Amino acid sequence: QKEVEQNSGPLSVPEGAIASLNCTYSDRGSQSFFWYRQYSGKSPELIMFIYSNGDKEDGRFTAQLNKASQYVSLLIRDSQPSDSATYLCAATTGGFKTIFGAGTRLFVKA
Amino acid sequence: EAGVTQSPTHLIKTRGQQATLRCSPISGHTSVYWYQQALGLGLQFLLWYDEGEERNRGNFPPRFSGRQFPNYSSELNVNALELEDSALYLCASSFAYEQYFGPGTRLTVT
């Protein structure tokens, strides 16, 4: 069964630090990868997507993809208390089905 | 540009009744996805519609069904409601691979 795995956390970092969120996927045919942020009681919000090996930066966010290791990560620089949320990793398989991980809870301490 | 909209926001039903949830995608998006998120749990894929056709279905019983209309809006129907159907039901739309979520419908079954 194709899976996307994340550490459930919570991951706790102090304000201003770098938060590092990790994700592994089982389907080698996966081509597209996404990070969503979900605040409690709200719907997921797309914050990053990455298709190619390497890094992709957008503001304080950097997504990293290593297809050989089947590993995706999200770095949040200068973490703020408002970044406290659950972060969902998702991968689109070769059959165009998107599989979501269970999410990592991030807590940024002021 | 208007985002994905869902109605109703909240829905309270009694066990055994039927529930109908509605979703309007972002203009230009042809795919609609439905997910169930029980309290404190991850996203569970329900259904994927594209161009009016059901493209994929998650591991849910047949009493979960839906359809997509010519204007790409979609409806999710849940028959013979059970207590464990209480959850946040999320609709997402996409044109390519990135999915954008609506605010969700919170269904409570009593």
Is A35 at the interface with chain B, CB within 8 A? no
Tell me the C-alpha distance between B6 and B28, whole Å.
17
Give residues 37 to 96 of B whose Cβ lies within 8 Å of A: 41-43, 45, 48, 55-56, 88, 90
Is A42 at the interface with chain B, CB within 8 A? yes
- Per-residue pLDDT 10s for chain B (110 aa) are 689 999 999 999 999 999 999 999 999 999 999 999 998 788 999 999 999 999 999 999 999 999 999 999 999 999 999 999 999 999 999 988 899 999 999 999 99
Taking alpha carbons only, the member of B45, B55, B48, B53 closest to residue B33 is: B48
Q: Which chain A residues contact residue B98 at CB under 8 A?
A: 32, 34, 46, 49
Cα of A41 to nearest chain B Cα, Å: 9
Q: Residue A59: CB partners within 8 Å, gap ≥ 6?
A: none
Task: Check residue A69 and give left, alpha or beta (phi > 0: left; psi -120 to 50: alpha).
Answer: alpha
Tell me the C-alpha distance between B51 and B81, whole Å.
28
Query: pLDDT band for position A95 (50/70/90)?
Result: low
Give residues 46 to 75 of A whose Cβ lies within 8 Å of B: 46, 49
Q: Residue A107: CB partners within 8 Å, gap ≥ 6?
A: A9, A10, A11, A12, A13, A84
